[in-house]
Structure 1
Amino acid sequence: MEGTGMRAISVVLLSAAAVMAADQDFNGRWTIKVEGYTARVWWLEVNGAGTPNPTGKFVGAPGGDMDVIPEMKIAGGELRFYMNKRYVRDAKGPTQPRGVYAAKLQDGKLIGEFWVEGRENAPRTKWVGTRAPVITDKDDGTWKPARPVKLFNGKDLSGWLPIIEGKELGWTVENGIMKNIAGANNLKSAEKFWNFDLHVEFRLGPKTNSGIGLRGRYEIQVLEDYGREPNTHSAGALYSRIAPRVNASKPAGEWQTYDIRLIGRTLTVVFNGVKILDKVEVEGFTAMAHDADEGLPGPISIQGDHGPIEIRDITVTPLVRK
């Protein structure tokens, strides 16, 4: 009897250890594609899976900030987390229904669904998460410039594509300047890039909000915020992730410049001649992300669906090994 009891206890302990090991497989960073929706991709980080109190961060719709997940749990091989956002426009009262994100691991991927509490019978949004790749390239002095690529020819929008399918473009070219109307489509370059220097010359109207997307994944905020204290939503910020060290914005109506270097996950931003981000690490996607294949070259993108922006030069210089 004693031997049988000890064997039973051993089986229970081994089973618990196996469950914990399986739960730990949720840990890490994930890039997420949403079924039937190509204009945005999501990002998820899970920590502490396999412990009683897993935690995480999330970038997704609606909105697009990198949010700390307020509630996460793992049970029965399912990861489930809840977000407090405005999912239902006509919802009334101080308490909004939460968004529910649930996923199981299958062949190394997260196979997930999203729905809103109280609307469980409505069609659910399906999504698939893939582990974010390890990117080893560093800004370590071993790179040299290749031939520059002018993404704007000063005449028309050749080489630019709409990001939101079926939506009017809303961009024109006048007197060598590309410009948008409020609520225009977001643009992406037809050509894709990996490591590069990017030079942008732009001009903003009052209260304008836009963004420049790197590889179609990481947004450098464009904002008319002259004279304000810097934060993670300021001009030059890696949107909602890393604030610039100073606000280098000029007043509305003046031409401004970004000189951006991205090598692997290492990012440097010089804004109007002032270095505001210096070799910071890009951990993952921001709100503008629309290209989920993080280990591959991606396009340069421009946000057009907020305020008016004018661009007279946007040039990419690919970087190659010396």
Structure 2
Amino acid sequence: MKRKFLFTMLLAGGFCAANAQEKAKPEDTEVYTPVPPEVTPAKKAGAAPSDAIVLFDGSNLDQWVMADDRDKPAEWLVGKGILTVNKKVGNIETKKAFNNYQLHIEWRVPSNITGSGQARGNSGVFLASLGKGDAGYELQVLDSYKNKTYTNGQAGSIYKQFVPLANPTLPPGEWNTYDVVWNAPVFGADGALVKPAKVTVIFNGVVVQNDAELKGPTQYIGQAAYRQAHGASPIKLQAHGDKSEPLSFRNIWVREL
């Protein structure tokens, strides 16, 4: 009897839903607000759209400061439209702090690169910088073209957390591209984590991180964890201490989301 009653109720529910659908109009599910802002896309692939903040266009480092002393202008090398790491002075980071954003950045290890493993064209894009040193959330930059190392430390990895889904690294001397969608972590008024950071990374047109949920800021030793609450943060580029020839960056822009 109970089964028959349940079947009857399900049948009645389905009939009501079908009847409501028949009475519905197309305009019932049409919305007109909010109206998305108009954005003019770039005429050239990879160039900045109209609403982007250009962080490096090949001419100067006006948007950057030294990471360990934010009162000092960035002291990396600019020439022939590219930005080259200056390992003698340390990391640089953006003057502006960001929460959620879309980032485009291109990088190249020199054709005469030497070394192996992590000592070959090592750098990093810290998607949110949390102060002095290398503290933050690191998207690894490395010559990973036929260069063996631990897989959660190769190009396209979220360093020491997530192995990239593929390795599309181009040979030394060629420009690689990262397109990143970053969603910053959210903390409550008491400092407790409400929502972890998430990141999607497209590397030379290939998805290598797909909405990855980060365990916390990068840890070189030990497991990552959220140990401190923070808000909007700068984007940082790393001057790694390996002895290989320094790599270069170009065409860096960001869109706040």
TM (norm. structure 2) is: 0.61
Question: Partner of 1:151: helix, strand, or coil?
Answer: strand
CA displacement, residues 154-182 of structure 1 (integer Å, 9 cap, x when unaligned)? 21111211112499965111011111234
Question: Partner of 1:194: helix, strand, or coil?
Answer: coil
2:213 maps to 1:281: yes
**C-alpha separation between the residues in 1 aligned to 2:144 and 2:62?**
31
**Aligned match of 1:74:** none
Instruction: Judge conservation of contact 2:143–2:155 (CA < 8 Å) in 1.
Output: yes
How many positions carry a matched residue from both structures? 175
Which of 145, 157, 182 in structure 2 is aligned with 1:237?
157
State the identity %: 33
Which of 74, 78, 82 in structure 2 is aligned with 1:177?
82
Larger relative contact order (Cα-Cα within 8 Å, sequence gap ≥ 6) = 2
**Aligned match of 2:128:** 215
2:59 maps to 1:155: yes
**C-alpha separation between the residues in 2 aligned to 1:295 and 1:182?**
28
**C-alpha separation between the residues in 2 aligned to 1:155 and 1:221?**
25
Q: How far has the Cα of 1:295 moved from its partner?
A: 3.6
Which of 96, 105, 125 in structure 2 is aligned with 1:191?
96
Q: How far has the Cα of 1:266 moved from its partner?
A: 1.5
Question: Partner of 1:198: helix, strand, or coil?
Answer: strand
| Higher-helix-fraction structure | 2
2:257 maps to 1:257: no
**Aligned match of 2:144:** 225
Q: How far has the Cα of 1:283 moved from its partner?
A: 1.6
List structure 1 segments (4+ residues) > 4 angstroms apart after TM superposition.
166-170
CA displacement, residues 116-165 of structure 1 (integer Å, 9 cap, x when unaligned)? xxxxxxxxxxxxxxxxxxxxxxxxxx9x7882111113211112111124
| Letter of the structure 1 residue corresponding to residue 240 of structure 2 | D
Q: How far has the Cα of 1:260 moved from its partner?
A: 0.7
CA displacement, residues 248-278 of structure 1 (integer Å, 9 cap, x when unaligned)? 1111110110001112311101101100110
Instruction: Judge conservation of contact 1:179–1:309 (CA < 8 Å) in 2.
Output: yes
Instruction: Judge conservation of contact 1:224–1:252 (CA < 8 Å) in 2.
Output: yes
Q: How far has the Cα of 1:204 moved from its partner?
A: 1.0
Instruction: Judge conservation of contact 1:266–1:280 (CA < 8 Å) in 2.
Output: yes
**Aligned match of 1:310:** 248
Instruction: Judge conservation of contact 1:167–1:185 (CA < 8 Å) in 2.
Output: no
Instruction: Judge conservation of contact 1:183–1:305 (CA < 8 Å) in 2.
Output: no
TM-aligned CA distance change 1:271 to 1:294, over 3 Å: farther
| Higher-strand-fraction structure | 1
TM-aligned CA distance change 1:167 to 1:148, over 3 Å: closer
Question: Partner of 1:232: helix, strand, or coil?
Answer: helix
**C-alpha separation between the residues in 2 aligned to 1:251 and 1:184?**
27
TM-aligned CA distance change 1:287 to 1:171, over 3 Å: farther
> Over aligned residues, Cα RMSD in angstroms?
2.8
